[in-house]
Amino acid sequence: MTAKMSQAGYGIELIDANGAFHTEFEAGDELHLQAHDRTRPRIHAVTGSGALRRAFRVGDDGLRVRGSRLAVGSALEVYLVENRRNWQPGDPFTPVRNADGSEVRQRVTLKGDDTGFQVMLWSRDHARAGSYDLIARRVDPHEDQPVDDRIFRASDLVSERGAPGVVIREDIFRYAPDPQGGPRKGAGVGDGLIREMPTIDRRSPTGGMRTGCPRISYEME
């Protein structure tokens, strides 16, 4: 099936409800099987080198966005919005806002013969934890997008359907001073700090896939 899909211009991904790739699973896990048309325009979060990124931690990086397979000369308004499971035409959306009230959005215009772009949409200093989607709308490069036109259209690009486009996580290690002034359980010796420990990863002792069968949903784009 994978070979046939590849020949037809499709690729498949197994991701969990938080948007992370799955290489292991256990009974009860819910996975989403998504097939992406490799010929259609796409927008997604990426690393600095342009690799697909599903998640990162607060403070580690900013949110970079990449668009690909776009028409030459395209102009797009790129918005960061809260995750919605299944975007449909007519759904209203509201861009995420920074602490100063400004919207997390950016106008991008392709230059020359470019068919793609990569921009920093949300800086490391401003990015905060949450599950987000990216929406890109083709616009006239000489006109501002009306503020009241925040309705999802069939022609809009969205990073994912059925799972978050990107998840920004809180740092699993948090430090806080002990109000009593002394070290607590889990703190370094004499540092007067406490540490919130991460959840234990219950991996298979063989290092392979966990036993059990996940619940799998699928979707064609």
- Is residue 22 one of the residues assigned to a domain? no
- Is residue 61 one of the residues assigned to a domain? yes
The identity of residue 180, as a single letter, is Q
Token pair of 143 as six digits? 């006109």
- Is residue 89 one of the residues assigned to a domain? yes
- Is residue 27 one of the residues assigned to a domain? no
Q: How confident is the model at residue 94 (pLDDT cuts 50, 70, 90)?
A: very high
| Residue 146 to residue 64: CA distance in whole angstroms | 25
Contacts of 72 (CB under 8 A, 6+ apart): 110, 112, 113, 114, 115
pLDDT above 90 for 14: no
- Is residue 182 one of the residues assigned to a domain? no
Q: What is the pLDDT of residue 27?
A: 62
Q: What is the pLDDT of residue 142?
A: 80
pLDDT (average), residues 128-156:
89
The identity of residue 100, as a single letter, is D
Q: Which residue has the higher pLDDT, 15 or 139?
A: 139
The identity of residue 78, as a single letter, is V
Q: Which residues span the domain enclosing 89?
A: 40-171
Q: What is the pLDDT of residue 178?
A: 53
CATH classification at residue 63:
2.60.40.1930
Task: Flag the least confident range among 9-18, 29-38, 96-105.
Answer: 9-18
Instruction: Count Cβ neighbours within 10 Å for each residue of 42-54 and write b for 16 or more, e otherwise.
Output: bbbbbeeeeeebb
| Residue 175 to residue 189: CA distance in whole angstroms | 14
| Residue 105 to residue 97: CA distance in whole angstroms | 9
Q: What is the pLDDT of residue 81?
A: 98
CB 40 within 8 A of CB 220: no
CB 80 within 8 A of CB 104: yes
The identity of residue 174, as a single letter, is R
pLDDT above 70 for 191: no
pLDDT above 70 for 135: yes
Share the mean pLDDT of the chain.
75
Q: Given its phi and psi angles, is residue 116 left (phi above 0), alpha (psi -120 to 50 degrees) or beta? A: beta
- Is residue 153 one of the residues assigned to a domain? yes
DSSP class per residue in 6-64: HHTTEEEEEEETTS-B-S---TT-EEEEEEEETTS-EEEEE-TTS-B--EEETTT--EE
7, burial (CB in 10 Å: exposed 0-12, middle 13-18, buried 19+): exposed
Q: Which residue has the higher pLDDT, 36 or 103?
A: 103
Number of domains forming the structure of the chain: 1
Q: How confident is the model at residue 71 (pLDDT cuts 50, 70, 90)?
A: very high
pLDDT (average), residues 21-27:
53
User: pTM of the predicted model, to two decimals?
Assistant: 0.64
Proportion of the chain above pLDDT 70, given as a percent: 59
- Is residue 98 one of the residues assigned to a domain? yes
Q: What is the pLDDT of residue 58?
A: 95
Q: What is the pLDDT of residue 25?
A: 53
State pLDDT tens for residues 156-188.
999 988 899 999 999 766 555 555 554 444 443
- Is residue 217 one of the residues assigned to a domain? no
Q: What is the pLDDT of residue 174?
A: 55
